[in-house]
Structure 1
Amino acid sequence: MAYNFFPMIARMKYINRWGLMRNTQAENIQEHSHMVAVLAHALAVIQNRYYGGQVDPGAVAVAALYHDASEILTGDMPTPIKYDNPDIQNAYKAVESVAEQKLLSMLPEDLRADYDEIITIPDPEVHALVKAADKLSAYLKCVEELKAGNAEFKKAKEQTYAALCQNPIPALKYFMDHFLEGFELTLDELN
């Protein structure tokens, strides 16, 4: 019997983000998930090294790679709509859950348990780090667009930065204090 989980995951590259905004460079959920995985891994390492965390950075990175996988089936719902009111947010979470279960059903039954925690992210610490990295990735997209002269992302950058500043995860604050400035630099300035 053939299973379609991995062919579906490969379709992440066809789902674009930021659908309500003009982009100088399109970003799909596959690219986004890679960056979220890099950032989530870094946050987990920082959390463990400096703040007494006990989370597995590899597990956090893998969860981040799959954190938007349900969007293969649902599409990317823009943040202003998704979080506009509690009814929409709850309805979207229910749709997301159905999509996650549909994806898991595309695996052999004896592999489903191995992917369930990766797709659904039930561990609260892993989930919090992935969500922080997801928001951080959104902020970095805003920075990139503004560097390219796209003022469309000005308000999104401000709102996303404010949300990041409200996040209580100490590793996120550390990352912002020590690494965020570099994303504003040009390649020549980075060298």
Structure 2
Amino acid sequence: MHLSNILRSGYVQRWHTNADLAHIAETNSSHQWAATMIALALDPQASRATILAVLTHDVGEMWAGDLPYDFKRDNPDIASRHAIFEVEQRNAALAPLCIEGPDLNLVGIADRVAAVLHVAQFRPDIMGNSKWARDTHDVRKQLAQCSYPGAADVLAAVDRAIACT
């Protein structure tokens, strides 16, 4: 583990491939922190390994790069191969974390909620376009269907953020 590389990975810019968002300068470190707070709001009793997974879920992007969510959704084979490589890079930088099932799902939901809330805060004017309307619908559906203890509160926070757009 090279601590300097792990810390440097936090400076990786999110949204660099999105013309609507590239200028808002969100870093992976700020995104991972937000996703971790969301995960804790969803499940205050989440395991240490799960919280560490959320906190470090994008560390591998320093070496693997990132793909836009809608590209990953529309190209699952490419997304799957890229995700494997990104996890390999993350695990090379940090001790591997073995989580699955609901714990892995918590990472994914927290990641998507963080993205929707960030865009609602910094680019509310684009929340009504087809891409963000679809992403918001998907996030709301995931939250409504999941069984995490804090899901209703997080869903209410998403609804309040969207109402302000």
What's the TM-score bracket when you normalise by the shorter of the two chains?
0.7 to 0.9
Pair 1:156–1:11, CA change in 2 (3 A)? farther
Give per-residue Cα distances to partners, 1:144-166, cap 9 Å, x unaligned: 1334xx43773343122111133
Question: 85, 88, 104: which one pairs with 2:78?
Answer: 88
Question: 13, 21, 34: which one pairs with 1:16?
Answer: 13
Aligned length: 159
Letter of the 1:25 partner, please give it. Answer: I
The answer to which of 63-72 and 80-89 deviates more is 80-89
Question: 92, 99, 113: which one pairs with 1:102?
Answer: 92
Equivalent-residue separation in structure 1 for 2:52 and 2:11 (angstroms): 20
Pair 1:127–1:184, CA change in 2 (3 A)? same
- Would you say 1:146 and 2:146 are equivalent positions? no
Pair 1:102–1:179, CA change in 2 (3 A)? same
Secondary structure of the residue that 2:92 maps to in structure 1?
Answer: helix
Alignment correspondent of 2:36 = 37
Pair 1:175–1:85, CA change in 2 (3 A)? same
RMSD across aligned positions (CA): 2.6
Letter of the 1:116 partner, please give it. Answer: P
User: What's the offset of the Cα at 1:65?
Assistant: 0.7
Equivalent-residue separation in structure 1 for 2:159 and 2:75 (angstroms): 33
Equivalent-residue separation in structure 2 for 1:173 and 1:59 (angstroms): 20
Equivalent-residue separation in structure 1 for 2:118 and 2:128 (angstroms): 9
Poorly superposed stretches of 4+, deviation over 6 Å: none
Q: TM-score, normalised by structure 1?
A: 0.70
Structure 1 or 2: more helix by fraction? 1
User: 1:143–1:184: 8 Å Cα contact kept in structure 2?
Assistant: yes
Q: TM-score, normalised by structure 2?
A: 0.80
Mapping of residues 148-163 of structure 1, within 5 Å:
150-151=125-126, 154-163=129-138
Secondary structure of the residue that 2:103 maps to in structure 1?
Answer: helix
Letter of the 2:89 partner, please give it. Answer: A
Q: Structure 1: where are the runs of 5+ without partners? A: 49-54, 105-114, 187-191
User: 1:145–1:153: 8 Å Cα contact kept in structure 2?
Assistant: no
Pair 1:166–1:131, CA change in 2 (3 A)? same
User: What's the offset of the Cα at 1:87?
Assistant: 2.3
Secondary structure of the residue that 1:170 maps to in structure 2?
Answer: coil
| % identity of equivalent residues | 21
Letter of the 1:17 partner, please give it. Answer: R
Q: Structure 2: where are the runs of 5+ without partners? A: none
Secondary structure of the residue that 1:87 maps to in structure 2?
Answer: helix
Equivalent-residue separation in structure 2 for 1:78 and 1:69 (angstroms): 16
